[in-house]
Amino acid sequence: MAEATSESSVGQETVPAVEIENLTVSYGPTPALLDITLEVPQGLLVGIIGPNGSGKSTLIKSILGFKKPDVGEVRLFGESFERSRGRVAYVPQHGAVDWEFPITVQDVALMGRYGNVPWWRDLTAKDKQLAADALKMVRMQDFAKRQIGQLSGGQRQRVFMARAMAQGADILLLDEPFSGVDAATERAILDVLQRTKESGRTLLVVHHDLATAAEYFDRLILLKQRLYAYGPAEVVLDQELLGAVYEGQLRVFRHLHADAHLPAELGTGKKPSG
């Protein structure tokens, strides 16, 4: 076991965090994802965009190993899902959480450790320490005893980021972290994402707002059943590509187009300096 860990840490510079190869996933007669192949290198903040029902959440489920692919395979750090379980953590959508559940910030962070402890054994002092460290990392240690419903939008997101970090995960999957929050909270959440990225973790974020996509993410995955584009914003937010993906929602697209183009150019301008 120890050998395996050291081996993988040696190769960590080169092994991509997520490798998806010829992935096809279906629920009914039409595939939800068709022949997706892409590689996400470590330490990037990647946005997944596409219209409703384009397979964004299916992609997340496949990376989490919930949905067995019809064809193809998902590898995390070069290993199959079974062997890399625990290296990937899921941060739920705000609306999917029962904020009135009787649970404190500390308890949520501790949950991150549950996967590492067999059911017959208690959590150890080390688990508690790791959870406390994770809370400190997102600057939520002062709220440890609060019930989660008493937090502001940005703080709530941070608690779940802490849980993901307590899991010891290197890959974080976030489902629309910016939905239904105000602009200030959006900034605060982005800041947490960025700092998480700087700590060497890889983040995949389902995002619906084309106008901010270019500014927020290093790379974008444009999805609608198939992989339409993958790469830096200036490549992905191409007028023709977006037109092809968002057809039928063309009105929305036209409205966004002007915005989408602007940050794309900003993105190019920023690249060399950053």
Residues that bind other proteins (CB under 8 A): 64-66, 85-86, 88-90, 92, 96-98, 101-104, 107, 111, 114-115, 117, 119-120, 123, 147, 163, 167
Q: Which is nearer to other proteins, 65 or 78 (CB)?
A: 65
Whole-number Cα distances in Å, 241 to 24, 229, 232: 21, 8, 14
End-to-end CA distance of the chain: 39
Shortest distance (Å) from residue 210 CB to other proteins: 26
In angstroms, the CA 1 to CA 17 distance is 20
Q: Which is nearer to other proteins, 29 or 102 (CB)?
A: 102
Shortest distance (Å) from residue 164 CB to other proteins: 9
Q: Which is nearer to other proteins, 64 or 188 (CB)?
A: 64
In angstroms, the CA 237 to CA 254 distance is 13
Q: Which is nearer to other proteins, 73 or 101 (CB)?
A: 101
Shortest distance (Å) from residue 127 CB to other proteins: 11
Tokens read off for 266? 């900003």
Is the alpha carbon torsion for 205, 211, 216, 221 positive or negative?
positive
Shortest distance (Å) from residue 91 CB to other proteins: 9
Q: Which is nearer to other proteins, 156 or 163 (CB)?
A: 163
Shortest distance (Å) from residue 242 CB to other proteins: 30
Residue pair 89/164 in contact (Cβ under 8 Å)? The answer is yes
Percent helix, strand and coil across the chain, each rounded to 5? Answer: 45, 20, 30
